[in-house]
Amino acid sequence: MLKIDNITKSFGGLRAVNDVSFSVNQGEIVGLIGPNGAGKTTLLNLLCGIYKVDSGSVRFEGNDITNLAPNRICHMGISRTYQIPQPFDALTALSGVTVAVINGKKRENMTLSDAGLDASYFLEFVGLFAKRDTLSRDLTLYELRMLELARALATSPRLLLLDEAMAGLNPGEASKALDMIWSAQEQFGVTILWIEHVMKVIMKAANRLVVLQYGEKIDEGPPEAVMANEQVIQAYLGGSDVND
């Protein structure tokens, strides 16, 4: 479904992403892991069109989406959440999701009230229906993350890019969020590419893992095989000067 071929991106002298290629098939959950500074969020931004690719190509369902404008990419069926939640502060939760519903795809025969109904369905799915009239700046972190998820799902994506959806949540909230993401995958049929640091969650959830370090892909495969790889362990824990 998503095919990334040899993309490279440099900022000045720094090679943030260096010749990375992998693909994501329909219906699976792919985890993108790696130590901090590996270029994971940069890769996500490149996929979304926020940064321009230096070289290489990205194909989505057969169409070339390299360097397309972000709103066009959204219309093609990709949406994302953010590492630090970015809600629309002065809008209510319902209005925020309504914006996503109206603009995500070309909708026929939809007025503002119909979009509001659609939005409240998504809010109820993530469990925020009771808070639909609260301003986004008054929501807690967990609710903000759920709002982000609702907003991303409201644009009817086929590929969902999650950026550290578990950061800052305690274990109870984390397992609730994981259940939510799983049910989203079942109910809406989305494919997920997930950047994550919390290993417990990503090991459980992902079908496949891709590991990045210093902008390069160092491994790819099922979670157990990847986690047993020497190079990956060294990337996270340090080099040969660590005593076992």
Partner 1 sequence: MVSFELKRDRILARWKKQKYEWIIEPRYWRNPILWSMLLLVVPLFITGYPNILTMITVANLYACITIPLALQMTGTGRLNFGPQLYLGLGGYTSALLNLHLGFSPFFTLVATILVCMLVSLLLSPITWIAKGLYFSLITLILPLAFLDLTFIYGSLFRGEVGLMGMSPVINLGRITWNYVSYYYLSVFMMLIFLFVAEKIAQSRFGVTMAAINENEDVALMMGVNVNKYKVFYYVFPSILTGIVGWFIVHTFRTFAGITYLPLDFMLKMLIIVMIGGRASVYGMIPGAYFVCFLEDSLRSLGTVNYFLFPLILIIVLVALPRGEGIYGLYHKRHPRDYFPVMRVRRE
**Which chain residues interact with partner 1 by CB under 8 A?**
48, 50, 69-71, 74-75, 79-80, 82, 86, 88-92, 95-96, 98-100, 102-105, 108-115, 133, 135, 151, 155
Helices (H), the chain: 40-48, 70-76, 93-104, 112-126, 141-154, 171-188, 199-205, 223-228, 230-237
Which C-beta is closer to partner 1: that of 20 or that of 115? 115
CA 19 centroid distance within chain: 21
Least distance from C-beta 231 to partner 1, angstroms? 34
Q: How far is the CB of 92 from partner 1 (least distance, A)?
A: 5
DSSP string for 116-176: HHHHHHHHHHHT-GGGTTSBGGGS-HHHHHHHHHHHHHHT--SEEEEESTTTT--HHHHHH
Beta carbon nearer to partner 1, 70 or 222:
70
Nearest by Cα to 151 from 98, 211, 206: 98
- Minimal distance, residue 195 CB to partner 1, in Å: 16
Closest to partner 1 by CB, 89 vs 124, is 89
CB 82 within 8 A of CB 163: yes
Min dist CB 51 to partner 1, Å, is 12
Indicate the residue among 48 and 202 with the shorter CB distance to partner 1.
Answer: 48
Dist CA 10 CA 75 (whole Å): 27
Q: Which residues, 6 or more positions from 205, have their beta carbon under 8 angstroms from its beta carbon?
A: 29, 31, 178, 181, 182, 194
| Closest distance to partner 1 from the beta carbon of 156 (Å) | 10
Q: Which are the contacts of 113, defined by CB distance < 8 A and separation ≥ 6?
A: none
* Nearest-angstrom CA–CA distance, 157 and 138: 27
CB of 108 to partner 1, least distance (A): 4
Question: Sheet harboring 78-80: ordered strands across?
Answer: 78-80, 159-163, 191-195, 29-33, 208-213, 216-221
Judged by beta carbon, residue 40 or residue 151, the one nearer partner 1 is 151
Least Å from the CB of residue 94 to partner 1:
8
Nearer Cβ to partner 1, position 97 or 177? 97
Cβ proximity to partner 1, 79 vs 213, nearer residue: 79
